[in-house]
């Protein structure tokens, strides 16, 4: 008696819900895709580049004769399209912000390196790096502006720290103070060496002067 079978049936194309079946099917179909692509290259002399992302996000690449060359060739041919995309306002704004951020980062690196070099240079003679006037002798106008910004930032941090110490009932014991007195009106006047002065009122607020004005006036 002839065996009756269901015969050849068309497989319904839909996403597999079972994770194990999905992974096995992806692996087999991916290998088949790459194999067919290579056959196309050998039989027809075609140049092929394939990018596949697995369900888990893993990337698989295949290309002949070389994937990078295929990708660069594709991008070069679509260069005009990429230029059109870059004309979109939001993309232009993003690119500008990125460029500005990179320029600012380079400036900060340069300024930090300059300060570190001066600190090492002046450490041996017992002076602070900001007490050296020759640090600005070779600077241009742009470097001077950046240096002044750094000094103002440092001044703000010092003022905040001194205010914090004074609010806690202390007055920086390691600052080698020359004078410390309170007059009849409750004002505090503190002079630190020759380059730094601190002054404040009854409310404990203070102002600092590093003696930089003579270099920028």
Evaluate if residue 205 carries a pLDDT over 80.
Answer: no
Q: Please, what is the average pLDDT of the chain?
A: 70
Q: What is the mean pLDDT of the segment spanning 197-214?
A: 46
pTM (2 decimals)?
Answer: 0.32
pLDDT surpasses 80 at 186: no
Which of the two residues, 132 and 29, has the higher pLDDT score? 29
Under the banding of pLDDT at 50, 70 and 90, the label for residue 89 is low
Query: What whole-number distance in Å separates Cα of residue 101 and Cα of residue 108?
Result: 10
Residue 49: the pLDDT is: 92
> Do residues 152 and 207 touch, judged by C-beta distance below 8 A?
no
- The neighbour count for residue 130, using CB atoms within 10 Å, is 20
Query: β-strands 177-182, 196-200: how paired?
Result: unpaired
Nearest in space to 178 (alpha carbons), one of 197, 164, 165: 197
The domains found in the chain, sorted by start residue, are: 19-77 (3.40.1810.10), 92-216 (no CATH)
217 versus 34: the higher-pLDDT residue is 34
Question: Residue 215: its pLDDT value, please?
Answer: 45
The Cα 96–Cα 182 span in angstroms is 54
For position 131, what pLDDT does the model report? 57
Of 12-16, 44-48, 84-88, highest mean pLDDT: 44-48
Contact in structure between 149 and 141 (CB atoms under 8 Å): no
Highest mean pLDDT among 48-57, 113-122, 128-137, 166-175: 48-57
Q: Band the pLDDT of 122: cuts 50, 70, 90.
A: low
- How far apart (Å, rounded) are the C-alpha atoms in residues 36 and 183? 93
Q: At what angle do helices 67-77 and 79-86 cross, to 10 degrees?
A: 60
């Amino acid at each position: 008696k002839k065996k009756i079978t269901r015969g050849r049936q068309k497989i319904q194309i839909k996403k597999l819900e079972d994770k194990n079946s999905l992974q096995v099917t992806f692996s087999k179909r991916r290998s088949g895709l790459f194999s067919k692509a290579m056959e196309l290259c050998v039989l027809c002399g075609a140049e092929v580049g394939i990018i596949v992302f697995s369900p888990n996000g893993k990337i698989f690449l295949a290309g002949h004769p070389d994937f990078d060359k295929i990708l660069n060739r594709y991008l070069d041919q679509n260069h005009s399209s990429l230029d059109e995309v870059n004309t979109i306002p939001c993309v232009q704004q993003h690119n500008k912000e990125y460029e500005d951020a990179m320029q600012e980062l380079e400036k900060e690196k340069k300024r930090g390196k300059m300060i570190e070099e001066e600190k090492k240079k002046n450490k041996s003679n017992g002076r602070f790096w900001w007490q050296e006037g020759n640090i600005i002798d070779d600077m241009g106008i742009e470097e001077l502006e950046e240096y002044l910004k750094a000094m103002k930032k440092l001044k703000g941090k010092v003022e905040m720290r001194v205010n914090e110490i004074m609010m806690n009932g202390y007055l920086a014991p390691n600052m080698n103070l020359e004078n410390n007195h309170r007059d009849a009106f409750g004002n505090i006047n503190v002079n630190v060496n020759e380059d730094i002065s601190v002054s404040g009122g009854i409310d404990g607020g203070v102002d600092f002067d590093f003696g930089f004005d003579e270099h920028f006036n």
